[in-house]
Amino acid sequence: VGVDVCGFDYSFIRGIKDEIYQKRGIPHEAILINASHSHFTPVTQSWITWEPQNQHPDTLFLNNVVRPGIIRSIEEAIDNSVKSDLFFSRDTTGIGKNRSLRGADIIYDNSLDVVKIVSQKEKQESVLFLTGCHPVYDDPEVNRFIVSPNFPGHARNIIESTGGIATSLFLQGCAGDINPISKFRTSGEQLAGEIMHALGKSLSPIRGDISFYLDTISVPVTPWSRERIEEYLAIAEKSPEDGIARRDVRWAKLMLEQYEKNGTPATDMPIYVQTLNIGDWKLVALSREANTEFGIAIKNLWPGQKVSVAAYTNDIPSYLATDTHIKAKDYEGYGSFFWYGQPNNFPLGIFDTVVNRIKDNNR
C-alpha cells in the first residue's frame, strides 16, 4: 500500500494490520504499508519536539480519513484482484541529488524500478514504480499550503492520463539524504517520462511463488544522562527566540519526563525489515528514513537478481543514517534525532549491522 502522507508510527500501522487480519486472514508480514513522505500533507504522527501545530495529528482526520482509507484500499484490492502477468524493468532517474554529502562522499542511488501488471483477461495495465527522493519542494504556481502528493502524485497523474495506465502505485525508496533538483511538477513530469521509458525497454517476466517476512533488528542505544539533559535544557532555555533552541527545550523536557515515568528513556531503537518475494522479484522494505546507500548495499546482496529496496515502511520514527552522516553530525546523522524525539542518534556501525543482518537472514 502506498500512502500519500509524511509518516506514521508502528502502533498505527499495527492497528490497521490487526483489522485486516481479523477481516481477511492476511498476516501482518504480508501487508506492506509505505509512506510517500510528501511534506505537503496533514500531520499523521506525533512530532513532540516541533512547534505546537505539528506536535500531534488531528485524530478525527487520522482515524476517520486516513485509517479507513488505507483499509478500504486493501479490501478493494482484494475484492477486485484478477489473474495477471507481472514484468520487471530497471532504469535510472535524474530527479534527485544528495543534499548533504560532498566531494568523494557523494552517493546517490538513481535506480528507478518499475513493475508492470497486465490482467490476463482484459489486458488492463497497472504500474508500480519505486525510487528514493524526498517529496519536499513546492512549485511557484501552487500555494505551498495546499495539500499535495507532490512529485509522486504528479507522475502518477501523467502516466495514468497519457500512458494508457489504469492504476499506478508509488513506493518511496531510500530517500533519507536525497532531495529533488527541481520543483515538484518538473520532477513529476521528468519521472513520468522515465517510467514510460522503462516500460518501453525489454521487460523481464516475474515468475514463481510468493513468500513474506517481517524481521526486527534490535539496536541498543545509550540515552543521555539526566545531568547532561538538564545542562542541555538550561542552555537552550536562554534563547527562546531561536527555533532550534525551542526544539531542544521540548526534547530535553520529553527525555526528563521519560526518566520520571519509566526510569529511563528508551534504550532500544528497533528497525523493521519486511521482505516480499513475489516470484523472482524481491522487495525489501526498511522502516525509518533510510539513506540512499542502504538501497545500493542491499541490492548488491543479490547481484544480478530483481531486488528493489524501499524505506519509509511500517514505522518512521527517525532517520537511518550511514556512518558518514553520523561522523559528520549532520542533519541525517545527528540533528534529526532531536526533531524526532529519539533518545540518541544511532551508533557507528549501524549500516553494517543492518546490511549484514539482512544478508544473514537471506529472506
pLDDT band at 142 (very low <50, low <70, confident <90, very high): confident
Residue at 234 is within a domain: yes
pTM: 0.96
Q: What is the pLDDT of residues 106-122, one digit of tens each?
A: 999 999 999 999 999 99
pLDDT at 145: 79
Beta bridge partners of 130: 113, 171
pLDDT-derived band at 104 (thresholds 50, 70, 90) equals: confident
Place of cell 499550503: 145
pLDDT tens-digit series, residues 314-353: 999 999 999 999 999 999 999 999 999 999 999 999 999 9
Confidence band of 137 (pLDDT split at 50, 70, 90): very high
Range list of β-strands (E), the chain: 2-3, 34-35, 84-92, 96-98, 111-119, 125-131, 167-172, 178-180, 204-206, 210-217, 271-278, 281-286, 289-290, 306-310, 319-320
Q: Tell me, yes or no, whether 196 lies in a domain.
A: yes
Helix (H, G, I), strand (E, B) or coil at 117: strand
- Rounded to 5°, the CA angle 249-343-219 comes to 165
Calculate mean pLDDT across residues 58-67.
Answer: 96
| Same domain? 93 vs 186 | yes
Q: Are residues 120 and 186 in the same domain?
A: yes
Tell me, yes or no, whether 248 lies in a domain: yes
Please report the pLDDT score of residue 294 as a whole number. 99
Q: For residue 347, is it within any domain?
A: no
Contact predicate 194/90, CB 8 Å:
no
Residue 220 lies in a domain: no
Query: Do 124 and 91 have their domain in common?
Result: yes
- Amino acid letter, residue 104: A
Residues 245 and 169 in one domain: no
| In-domain check, residue 299 | no
Together in a domain, 91 and 120: yes
Q: Do 200 and 238 lie in a common domain?
A: no
Which residues are paired to 142 by β-bridges? 139
pLDDT at 63: 97
User: Which among 262, 287, 308 is the end of a domain?
Assistant: 262
Q: Is residue 252 part of a domain?
A: yes
Range of the domain at 158: 84-129+150-173+180-206
Cα→Cα distances 188→231, 259, 350, Å: 46, 46, 33
Which cell is 15 given? 492497528
Residue 151 has pLDDT above 90, yes or no: yes
* Closest CA relative to residue 169, chosen from 263, 77, 250: 77
- 194 and 246 in one domain? no
Q: List beta partners, residue 272.
A: 216
How many domains does the structure of the chain reveal?
2
* Residue 181 CA from chain centroid, whole number: 19
CA 149, 184, 38, 131 torsion: positive or negative?
Answer: positive
Interval 112-135 mean pLDDT? 98
Same domain flag for 163 and 106: yes
Q: State the number of CA atoms in the 13 A half-sphere of 15 facing the CB.
A: 10
Same domain, 198 and 123: yes
Residues 254 and 194 grouped into a single domain = no
Beta-sheet pairing, 306-310 with 289-290: unpaired
pLDDT (0 to 100) of residue 139: 80
117 and 162 belong to one structural domain? yes
Give the bridge partners for 204, in sequence order.
Answer: 88
Residue at 46 is within a domain: no
The strands making up 210-217's β-sheet, listed across from edge to edge, are 210-217, 271-278, 281-286, 306-310
Read off the pLDDT of residues 254-304 as tens digits, 9 standing for 90 and up: 999 999 999 999 999 999 999 999 999 999 999 999 999 999 999 999 999
pLDDT at 144 (0 to 100)? 74
Residue tagged 532531495 (cell numbers): 179
Q: Are 195 and 251 members of one domain?
A: no
pLDDT of 70: 98
Q: Which residue has the cell 514505522?
A: 315
